[in-house]
Amino acid sequence: MPDAATTFELQPLHHVQLAVPRGAEDACRAFWGGLLGMTELTKPPVLAARGGCWFRGGGLEVHLGVEEPFAPATKAHPGVRVRGLRALADRLASAGAPVTWDDEFPGHDRFYSADPFGNRLEFLESRA
């Protein structure tokens, strides 16, 4: 156990992991890479053998990992800060993704959406 006097500093998140069903990599690439414009990362070989894929963009890293049995996260979710929130909402809606606006977070515009597997996603932009 570390010494109680040791100091530490929390830093920005390294990544967020979301579960996906087995064989979902092409749909992940279409959504996270194609629709959201993130760059796919090369997974370490030992992890690549498990399936899934990783993406990075705008300071955000998302790891999509195979989970069996799969159940989408319909409550827990990442909150992703965006510039150009309305343009993103239009892009997602045009692709058939759900867009549900919510005005209950003071100082922010935000909406909820979902990835192709039903994992909840929040996108928000500060009004300041």
Summarize pLDDT for 9-35 with one digit per residue, the tens: 999 999 999 999 999 999 999 999 999
> In this predicted model, what pLDDT tens digit does every residue of 101-116 receive, in sequence order?
999 999 999 999 999 9
Is 70 exceeded by the pLDDT of residue 3? no
Q: How many CB atoms lie within 10 A of CB 13?
A: 10
Range list of H helices, 10-61: 25-28, 45-48
Contact assessment for residue 29 and residue 84, using Cβ atoms and an 8 Å cutoff: no
CA distances from 62 to 13, 20, 77, 108 (A): 10, 12, 12, 23
> What integer pLDDT is reported at residue 6 of this predicted model?
79
Domain boundaries, the chain: 16-126
CA dihedral 83, 87, 91, 94 (to 10 degrees): 160
Domain 16-126 top-level CATH class:
alpha beta
- Give the residue carrying structure tokens 């990783």: 54
Report the predicted TM-score, pTM, of the whole model to 2 decimal places. 0.92
CA-closest candidate to residue 28, choices 90, 119, 123: 119
| Integer Cα distance of 105 and 73 in angstroms | 21
